[in-house]
A = this chain, B = another copy of it.
Amino acid sequence: MDNQLQTMLKEKFGIVFKNVSLLEQAFTHSSYVNEHRNLNLADNERLEFLGDAVLELLVSRYLYRQYPDLPEGKLTKMRASIVREESLAAFAKECQFDEAIKLGKGEENSGGRTRPSLLCDLFEAFLGALYLDQDLETVKTFIQKVIFPKVAAGAFSHEMDYKTRLQEVLQKGGDVHIDYRLVKEEGPAHERIFWTEVYCDDRLIGKGQGKSKKLAEQAAANNALEKLAE
């Protein structure tokens, strides 16, 4: 097995595989197996099947707990944007997994090492191998480093409209009056910053800033939602 990979996993993530052959299998593409039939290797496809489900549960649990006021439809959209091919391929590259996978020559020559579907499968296969070798909580610790900070930073929240959400949450308890007040704007026209406050029945519940009035209002609504969730 590629020692660089094992060293990186240990240093960057504190991960040491007990059964290194599982790690090897996760980094073995079917094209490599097909070109080395005599070695009797197993490719990473079954591990990918398992890892896909491990990831789905961990992401679901995280979103469920982190966004107690989001309705199911929005949780589902957010989950889909996290576990889709492009996202997982990007995580695989960040972890430098692309450098360690064993490919057949044909696959290598046709650019397999940078193909999003291959990298996405590799990422899932790694999670499946880690789950089998250790447990669900170890996989959680890993994706807590790799995926969750990006979710918390809003990288997958483009589906979400915080103002709508805030209205939904506040009006659960009956009719309320919500308004957004622009309290300050600063800077030259091309990089102007807006400061907004959001009030519920004249009580200040959130503050935000942004490069447009709209973005500042969204930020204020998000800030209010976070405070409500505390």
A interface residues with partner B (beta carbon < 8 Å):
40, 45-46, 48-50, 52-54, 56-57, 59-61, 64, 70-73, 75-76, 79, 136, 172-173
Contact = CB atoms under 8 A, between A and B. Distances in A.
Contact of A49 (B45, B49, B50, B64): B64
A71 B45 contact: yes
A53 B50 contact: no
A49 B60 contact: yes
A50 B58 CA distance: 10
Contact of A46 (B45, B53, B71, B136): B71
Interface centre among A45, A53, A64 (most CB of B within 10 A): A53
Given A53-B57, A54-B57, 16 more contacts: A46-B70, A46-B71, A46-B72, A46-B75, A48-B72, A49-B64, A49-B76, A49-B79, A52-B60, A53-B59, A53-B60, A53-B61, A54-B60, A56-B56, A56-B57, A136-B136
B50 A61 contact: yes
Nearest to A58: B53
Given A40-B173, A136-B136, A75 B49 contact: yes
A71 B73 CA distance: 33
Nearest to A121: B72
Contacts of A76: 49
A131 to B, nearest CB: 8
A45 to B, nearest CB: 4
Contact of A56 (B45, B46, B53, B136): B53
A46 to B, nearest CB: 5
Interface centre among A48, A52, A173 (most CB of B within 10 A): A52
Nearest to A51: B60
Contacts of A48: 72
17 contacts: A40-B173, A45-B71, A45-B73, A46-B70, A46-B71, A46-B75, A48-B72, A49-B60, A49-B64, A49-B72, A49-B75, A49-B79, A50-B60, A52-B60, A53-B53, A53-B61, A56-B56
Contacts of A45: 71-73
A70 B49 CA distance: 11
